[in-house]
Amino acid sequence: MAEITVFPDPSSGATTVDGILNSISNATYATVRDAAESSGAFMTDTNTNCERQYLSGGNYTVWRSIYTLDTSTLGSGATISAATWSLAGNGNAVEDADTDSINVYSSAPADNNSLAIGDYDSLGTTVFATAITHAAWVSTDGTYNVFTFNATGRDNVSKTSITKIGMRSVQDVSATAPTGLNSVKAYFADAAGTTKDPKLIVTYTAAAPTAARRAANLMMMKVG
């Protein structure tokens, strides 16, 4: 067994990215949730809400987050046996008006290393892990909340390219309108280091060498 740990790149312009998509604000929840675009895409915040549903003054807002990660070092022949996704809690993170949870879903941003407002509706609804309730969210500064991937989540990990995931409120997925403020906060990728960065840990077995590779290795040993 082997293991890799990968992080998103901070901001944009490198290989990968992470960030948040803030919805438009509207009096109708369906308008906000089902919008094709967000009001903004933010990639430079290092700690903020990674998902949020909010009702204030009769207007609703919904936040979602997207993360891309370079997992190409696994190789096409790798067999993934486990994967965990971890977000470091940020201070007093739980603001729970309803009984809500957060979970991991697919995402399909147009670019691997940047986010745009049109990525807002690219997040899926099939769960990749066991949800964590807002009440159970570990908000101690820098302590990781760990999502253990199910088989669908593991299958979503790219062995040769970029893995793309998103975070949504479970009530967002079920189209359940909030009655107040529901959110949890976490750290995003930081150029200063990876101590509190989002991270994907993948446990895998590397592909066995092919017959041609074994023969080449044997020949090198004989030559040596």
Distance CA 38, CA 32 (A): 9
CA angle 78, 197, 1 (to 5 degrees): 25
This prediction has a pTM of 0.92
* Amino acid (one-letter) located at 2: A
CA 176 to chain centre: 22
Q: Give the three-state DSSP class for 47.
A: strand
Question: Residues 56, 34: contact at Cβ < 8 Å?
Answer: no
Give the H or E element holding residue 165: strand 162-169
| Neighbouring C-beta atoms of residue 171, cutoff 10 Å | 21
Q: Tens-of-pLDDT digits for all 224 residues of the chain? A: 899 999 999 987 789 999 999 999 999 999 999 999 999 999 999 999 999 999 999 999 999 999 999 999 999 999 999 999 999 998 777 888 899 999 999 999 999 999 999 999 999 999 999 999 999 999 888 899 999 999 999 999 999 999 999 999 999 999 999 999 999 999 999 999 999 999 999 999 998 765 555 555 556 666 55
